[in-house]
Amino acid sequence: MGPPGVGKGTQAIRLQYLVGIRHVSIGDVLRRHIAEGTPLGVVARTYLRKGELVPDDLLTRMIIGQVLSPTRAGGVLLDGFPRTIDQADTLDAALARYGRRIDAVLCLTAPPETLLRRITGRRVCPACLAAYHLDTAPPQVPGACDNCGERLVQRSDDSHRIALHRLAVYTSQTQLLLDRYEQTSTVHRVDGTGSVADVTARLLAALYLAGLGEQDRQPTAWV
Ligand code: AP5
């Protein structure tokens, strides 16, 4: 968990390889639906462009079916889900049905000025979804993806105006959920400022403290 631009996606990709857990970015899943023009994508598009959350009923059906199916073995690192109390309730019920549970809630933090700088400087590859930053993580060839050469674009919700709105949505909706998690589970707040490597090291330390660094432990769901 964590506000827009704090580095959830950047860190989740690294943890996926370092810890060996499947990473699912709900934002990326939605953007794929939009690119493919699926019925969910057609509806989701209007919400993403405005920086609003996609309605719970649409989203949770997709997430629960696709991500938590009992046929999928191993744990999952959920990036960007749940964001509302309703989503969290649906997730808890589905996890219980599949005999799974949330093992840890990780929350990255950073001041608003850092978030805005990261969001407005971000550029993404529309083909492979790799993310760059004009100042802190530029591509080798300006404007082109290092992985596939595709022309990089700015996300439609990464303008200064929409970014401010997304931060407000986070404060009004997701902060409430975080407050609830603080009361019911162990939330690990991790400082998201500094270099990408520094933040990864803090996250790994938090996972270790949560008992998830042990080799014999098979986590089932991290948020
Ligand atoms: P989503 O794509 O999840 O957006 P978000 O939560 O707003 O998060 P971001 O992707 O903006 O940032 P991030 O924290 O992943 O940062 P990143 O690693 O990219 O969701 C988009 C939309 O989908 C939502 O607005 C909503 O409409 C919908 N949606 C998604 N989930 C939903 C849900 N559960 N319910 C309803 N609707 C939902 O990093 C940002 C930049 O900073 C990058 O350029 C990166 O290179 C750079 N950077 C990262 N770390 C560092 C560092 N340590 N130092 C310097 N630069 C850094």
- 13 has pLDDT over 90: yes
- 223 has pLDDT over 70: no
The Cβ-side half-sphere exposure at 15, using a 13 Å CA radius, reads 32
Q: How many CB atoms lie within 10 A of CB 212?
A: 20
Question: Which is it for strands 76-79 and 105-109: parallel, antiparallel or unpaired?
Answer: unpaired
Q: Is 50 a catalytic residue?
A: no
Give the mean pLDDT of 3-27.
92
Q: Is 83 a catalytic residue?
A: yes
pLDDT for position 215:
47
Q: Is 123 a catalytic residue?
A: no
Q: Extract the tokens encoding 79.
A: 């990036």
The active-site residue, picked from 14, 45, 83, 118, is 83
The active-site residue, picked from 8, 14, 31, 100, is 8
Rounded to a whole number, what is the distance in angstroms from the first to the last CA of the chain?
6
The Cβ-side half-sphere exposure at 61, using a 13 Å CA radius, reads 5
CA distance 30 to 44: 7
Which of 47, 122, 199 is the best mutation target for the ligand 1 pocket, counting ligand atoms within 8 Å of the beta carbon and taking the most? Answer: 122
Give the mean pLDDT of 165-190.
93
Question: Which is it for strands 122-124 and 131-133: parallel, antiparallel or unpaired?
Answer: antiparallel
Strand partners, 23: 77
pLDDT band, residue 71 (cuts 50/70/90): low
SS (H, E, C) 185-219: CCEEEEECCCCHHHHHHHHHHHHHHCCCCCCCCCC
Read off the pLDDT of residues 123-150 as tens digits, 9 standing for 90 and up: 999 999 999 999 999 999 999 999 999 9
Give the mean pLDDT of 70-76.
69
